[in-house]
């Protein structure tokens, strides 16, 4: 192929394109399914509506590349640089983007079901309305990302960084693991981090796995944590006024100095939780398990159901319900 050849609509299936000069090339609608593009320089190329099903784009340079509406199902983009790329409406179902860079990339209404985004840099990426159901975002950097209206059902956000991310209207239906940040919150076991002043009022976190989540000082007024797993979560100084924590697992959680005024903790598991200095005025603690919990200097004025414990059978039943909520 010549350096200036127009490759729009070209049939390049299963081709080994190593060594080809592709920066800025017009590959609109080209069929590159199964093609070997590993290490290829495709910066600012036009791959809109191209078929890249199963293509190998490992370590490829895709900075500023137009991938609007492209099919990247099952494609491998490990270590690829997609800084500023346009992936709006692209299909990345089950794509592998481990260690890829998508800083400032557009992924508006993109499909990322089951995509592997571990250790991926999505700083300031626009994921408005994107479908991330079942995606693996372990240790991904979503700082200042826009996830407004994104579907994060059953997504894995373990150790993901969501500082400043916008999760307003993000779909976190009662299924599994999600995101959190400005205007919402996401599941983030182990190390999930949010800025102290973060406003997560009314966040729907039912059934979410937030093990080890860092939520210190977060405003979670009226948030719904029904059946959520918050084992070892750090909620120091968090505002949980009127929050729904029924059937939640707060084993060993740090709720010191938290405001739980009027919170519903019915049948919550607070075994070993630190509630020192917490305000539990008017809280519902009926049948909550407070074994080994630290209530030093806690305000329990008007709280109901103190001294409750939970049978082993009931604990097991609720644990099963939480697992079901997380995975369905």
Return phi, psi of residue 254, to 5°: -100, 105
Output the CA torsion sign for 166, 170, 172, 178: negative
Identify the pLDDT of residue 20: 66
Identify the pLDDT of residue 186: 39
Identify the pLDDT of residue 179: 36
User: CA-to-CA distance for 38 and 137, rounded, in angstroms?
Assistant: 23
236-243's contacts with Cβ under 8 Å and 24+ in sequence apart are 237/196
SS3 181: strand
Per-residue confidence of the chain (328 residues) as pLDDT tens digits? 544 566 677 777 876 766 666 888 899 999 999 999 999 999 999 999 999 999 999 999 999 999 999 999 999 999 999 999 999 999 999 999 999 999 999 999 999 999 999 999 999 999 999 999 889 998 899 988 998 888 887 788 877 887 777 776 555 532 333 333 433 333 333 334 454 444 567 877 788 778 887 788 888 899 889 998 899 988 999 999 999 999 999 999 999 999 999 999 999 999 999 999 999 999 999 999 999 999 999 999 999 988 767 777 887 888 888 777 765 5
Identify the pLDDT of residue 326: 63
User: CA-to-CA distance for 22 and 45, rounded, in angstroms?
Assistant: 7
Q: Read off the tokens for 326.
A: 């997380």
Answer for the pair 185, 167: CB distance below 8 angstroms, yes or no: yes
Exposed e or buried b per residue across 156-174, where buried means at least 16 C-beta atoms within 10 angstroms of its C-beta:
bbbbbbbbbbbbeebbbeb
User: CA-to-CA distance for 226 and 322, rounded, in angstroms?
Assistant: 9
Identify the pLDDT of residue 114: 94
- Ordered by where they begin, the domains of the chain are 186-328 (2.160.20.80)
Q: How big is the CA angle at 78 (ends 76 and 83), to the nearest 5 degrees?
A: 105
Answer for the pair 269, 289: CB distance below 8 angstroms, yes or no: yes
Identify the pLDDT of residue 213: 76
Longest dimension (CA), the chain: 80
Return phi, psi of residue 273, to 5°: -70, 150
Please tell me the pTM assigned to this model. Answer: 0.59
């Amino acid at each position: 192929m010549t350096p200036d050849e127009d490759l729009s609509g070209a049939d390049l299936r299963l081709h080994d394109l190593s060594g080809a000069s592709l920066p800025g090339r017009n590959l609109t609608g080209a069929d590159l399914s199964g093609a070997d593009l590993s290490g290829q320089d495709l910066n600012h190329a036009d791959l809109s509506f191209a078929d890249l099903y199963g293509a190998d784009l490992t370590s490829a340079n895709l900075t500023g590349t137009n991938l609007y509406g492209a099919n990247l199902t099952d494609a491998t983009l490990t270590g690829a640089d997609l800084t500023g790329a346009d992936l709006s409406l692209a299909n990345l179902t089950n794509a592998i983007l481990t260690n890829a860079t998508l800083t400032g990339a557009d992924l508006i209404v993109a499909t990322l079901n089951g995509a592997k985004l571990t250790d991926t840099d999505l700083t300031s990426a626009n994921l408005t309305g994107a479908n991330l159901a079942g995606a693996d975002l372990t240790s991904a950097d979503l700082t200042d990302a826009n996830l407004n209206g994104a579907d994060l059902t059953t997504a894995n956000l373990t150790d993901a960084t969501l500082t400043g991310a916008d999760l307003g209207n993000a779909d976190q239906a009662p299924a599994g693991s999600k995101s959190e940040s400005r205007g919402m919150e996401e599941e983030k076991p182990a190390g999930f981090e949010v800025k102290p002043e973060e406003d997560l009022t009314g966040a729907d976190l039912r059934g979410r796995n937030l093990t080890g989540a860092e939520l210190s000082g977060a405003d979670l007024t009226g948030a719904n944590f029904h059946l959520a797993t918050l084992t070892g979560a750090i909620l120091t100084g968090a505002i949980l006024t009127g929050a729904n924590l029924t059937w939640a697992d707060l084993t060993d959680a740090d709720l010191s100095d938290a405001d739980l005024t009027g919170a519903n903790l019915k049948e919550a598991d607070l075994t070993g939780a630190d509630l020192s200095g917490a305000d539990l005025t008017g809280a519902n603690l009926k049948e909550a398990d407070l074994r080994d919990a630290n209530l030093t200097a806690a305000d329990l004025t008007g709280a109901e159901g103190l001294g409750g414990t939970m049978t082993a059978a009931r604990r097991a039943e609720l644990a099963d319900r939480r697992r079901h909520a997380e995975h369905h």
